[in-house]
Chain A
Amino acid sequence: MAFTSIDQARDRYDVIVVGSGLGGLTCANRLARAGHSVLLLEHHIQLGGLATWFKRKGHIFDVSLHGFPYGMVKTCKKYWNKAIRDSIVQLNNIVFDNPQFSLTTTFSRDDFTRILQEKFGIARTVVEEFFSTVGRMNFFDDQTMTTRELFEKFFPGRTDVHRLLMEPITYANGSTLDEPAITYGIVFSNFMNKGVFTFQGGTDKLIGMMADELRKNGVTICTGARVDRIIVENGRVCGVQVGNRIIAAPSVVSNSGITNTVDNLAGREVFSPGFLEGFDSVKVNNSSCQVYFGLRPGESFPEVGDLLFTSTAEEFSSDEMLDMETKSRTFSVYYPKTRPQHPDYTVVASMNANYDDWAGLENDAYKAAKEAMIERCFMDLDRYIPGIREKVDWVEAATPRTFNRYTLHTRGTSFGTKFEGLDISRSIFKEVPGLFHVGSVGIIMSGWLGAINYGVIVANDVDGFLRC
C-alpha cells in the first residue's frame, strides 16, 4: 500500500481523522462520501489499528480477525461496498472445552436454545425468556442490573451455564460479570443473531479494500504520521500538529483512545472541570496476550474447529482469565480456506491480560515470561492438534507491551474503556466544538462491528457540525 507523505498533504481540510482503526476508517469514508474533504493520519506504517496483521517467514498472522457478528454483512455493504460484504463467510465450528462441558456449536440462538435444553436441562420457556430479555436491551436502558444478576435471575447457581454464556464475551470485549447487563445483552444478542462470521481473504485484504475505497472517495491517507497535538484555540478545534507541520481543519475526529485524546492530544486544559471529573472516572479495559503459531509448508492438520474456547480452570472467573498464568485461552484456527490467495495453516492463541503484570518486567524476566506463556499454549494446543510442536516453523508471543507499542493505547488496552467511557466519547464535541472521538468505548462500541458502526454514528455528528 502506497500512501501520501505528510509533506504532500494540503494545508486545510474539512475534517482530519487521527488514527485508522476500523472506527476511524469508517468515519473517514462516510464523511468523504458525504462530500467533505478528509485527511486520515496514522502513526503506524499500516492502516487498521488493532484490525491488523503481520508477516513472518511466509506466514500472515491475523491479530483480531477471530470472528464477528452477522451484522457486519449489512454494515459493510452500506458503509463500504458490496465486494467487501461478499467476502464475509460464516464460521460453523465454535468449540467449548473446559472441565464443566465440551461441545461444538454454531454460536447462534437456534443452536444455543437446543444446547441449553438438551445438554444443560434448562426449560425451553426459560431459554426463550432469557433471549427475549437480552434481545430487547438498549444502551440507554437501566444500567443498575449486572450481568451476574441477570444470570442468577434466569439460571440460579448454574455456573456451567454462566460460563457458556459469558466466557466468549469476556474474550470479545474484556467484560466481567460485574458490568452492566445491557453491555452483555447487546453484544451477546448481536452474535446470537446468526452466528459467527469472518472475512475471507484475511485482515490484510479487508484493510486493502477499505484503503482503495477511501482513495476512490478522495480521502488523503498519510501513514507514519503521528499527530503531536490537536490544536484548540478560543475553545474550538482548528487543526492538528504533525511534526513541524500544522494542518488546519474545523473538525478533528480522534480515533486514538479516549484517554489519549483528552490527556495527550487535546490536553486537559481545554476541558471544563465538570467534564474532567467524569473523564477521570473512566476505566480503561484490560489488555491481551497472544501467541502465534505458523505451520511449516507441507504440514497440515484436520479440522478441529474455527474458534476454540478452552480452559482447564474449574469454573469461569474473569480474574482467573486475566492472570499471567491463566489456564483459559481461545485458539483462533486459520485454515487454507481463510486466505485462498495465500493458503496456510496458522493458529492464534489469545488471552486476556493486565498491563501492569507485564509493564514492569526487566528484559530477562520479560523474555522468560513470554517463553513460559508460549510453553503453556503449546501444551494446551497439543490436546487439539497432537504433535503441533513438530509441525510449526514459527512461534512468537505478543503482550500488553506489544499492544501498547503498536496502538499507543493507554495501558495497552485492547477493548477500549468500560461503560462510562461511552458518555465521555459521546459528549466531547459538546465540550470542545469540532472535537470528536471514535473508538472502542463503553464495551458495546468495541469489536469490529461496534467500531465500524460507531464510526458511522460519529460521522453523522461531524456532518451535522460541518453543515451547521
Chain B
Amino acid sequence: MTRDEIRDVILEIIEDIDEDADFDSLDADQPLRDQLDLDSMDFLDIVMELRKRYKLQIPEEEYPELSTLNSCVNYLEPKLKDS
C-alpha cells in the first residue's frame, strides 16, 4: 500500500468509529486524540480493525506510534508494503 492508501484506511476506520469525526481541519502532525476527541478505547478499536483487515499484530507498547496521522502512516508503511 502507498502512504496515501494507508492514510485513507486510517481515516476510514476512524470514521467507522465516529461518524461525526471532522477531518477538514486535521493537522497530520498533531495528536489525533486531541483533535478528534478520541479516547484510549478508540485506539483499541483501530488496532483491532487493522488486525482484522491485514492480520497485523500491534503490541501494546507500540500503540503510541499511532498517535498522529503521520506517525500512523510512518509506522504502518513498512508493515503494509505487501498488502
Using CB atoms and an 8 Å cutoff, list the residues of chain A in contact with chain B. 34-35, 75, 78, 453, 456-457, 459-460, 463-464, 467-468
Q: Which residues from 48 to 72 on chain B have a C-beta closer than 8 Å to any C-beta of chain A?
A: 48, 51-52, 55, 57
A35 to B51, CA, bound (A): 12
Q: Which residues of chain B from 28 to 54 have any CB-CB distance to chain A below 8 Å in the complex?
A: 41, 44-45, 47-48, 51-52
Q: Which residue of A lies closest to B48 (CB)?
A: A460
Do residues B52 and A456 form an inter-chain contact, with CB atoms below 8 A? no
Instruction: Indicate which residue in A78, A457, A464 contacts B51 across the interface (CB closer than 8 Å).
Output: A464
Q: Are A460 and B44 in contact (CB under 8 A)?
A: yes
Cβ-defined contact, B55 with A467, below 8 A: yes
Residues of A within 8 A of B45 (CB): 78, 456
How far is the CB of A32 from the nearest CB of chain B, in Å? Answer: 13
Q: Is B17 an interface residue (CB 8 A)?
A: yes
The B contact surface, by secondary structure, is helix
**B17 and A78 contact, CB distance less than 8 A:** yes
Given A78-B45, A456-B44, answer yes or no on A463-B17 (Cβ-Cβ < 8 Å). no
Query: When chains A and B are docked, how far (Å) is the Cα of A75 from the Cα of B41?
Result: 9
Nearest 4 CB-CB pairings of A with B: A460-B48, A460-B44, A463-B48, A34-B52
Partner of B57, one of A34, A457, A468: A468
- Interchain nearest-CB distance for B53 vs A (Å): 11
What is the minimal beta-carbon distance from B51 to any residue of chain A, in angstroms?
A: 6
Q: B residues near A, CB below 8 A?
A: 17, 41, 44-45, 47-48, 51-52, 55, 57
CB neighbours of B51 from chain A (8 A): 463-464, 467
Task: Say whether B48 contacts A34, CB under 8 Å.
Answer: yes
Q: How far is the CA of A34 from the CA of B55 in the complex (A)?
A: 12
A453:B41 contact, CB within 8 angstroms: yes
Residue ID in chain B nearest A461 by CB atoms: B60
- Contact residue among B17, B44, B52, B55 (Cβ-Cβ distance under 8 Å from A457): B44
Q: When chains A and B are docked, how far (Å) is the Cα of A75 from the Cα of B55?
A: 25
A-B contact pairs, 27 of them (CB 8 A): A34-B48, A34-B52, A35-B52, A75-B41, A78-B17, A78-B41, A78-B45, A453-B41, A456-B41, A456-B44, A456-B45, A457-B41, A457-B44, A459-B48, A460-B44, A460-B47, A460-B48, A463-B48, A463-B51, A463-B52, A464-B51, A464-B57, A467-B51, A467-B52, A467-B55, A467-B57, A468-B57
CA distance A20 to B17 in the complex (A): 25
> Contacts of A464 on B, CB cut-off 8 Å?
51, 57
Which residues of the other chain, A, contact B48 by a CB distance below 8 angstroms?
34, 459-460, 463
The answer for the CA separation of A468 and B44 in the assembled complex, in Å, is: 17
When distances are taken between beta carbons in the complex, the residues of chain A under 8 Å from B57 are 464, 467-468
CB distance from B74 to the nearest CB of A (A): 22
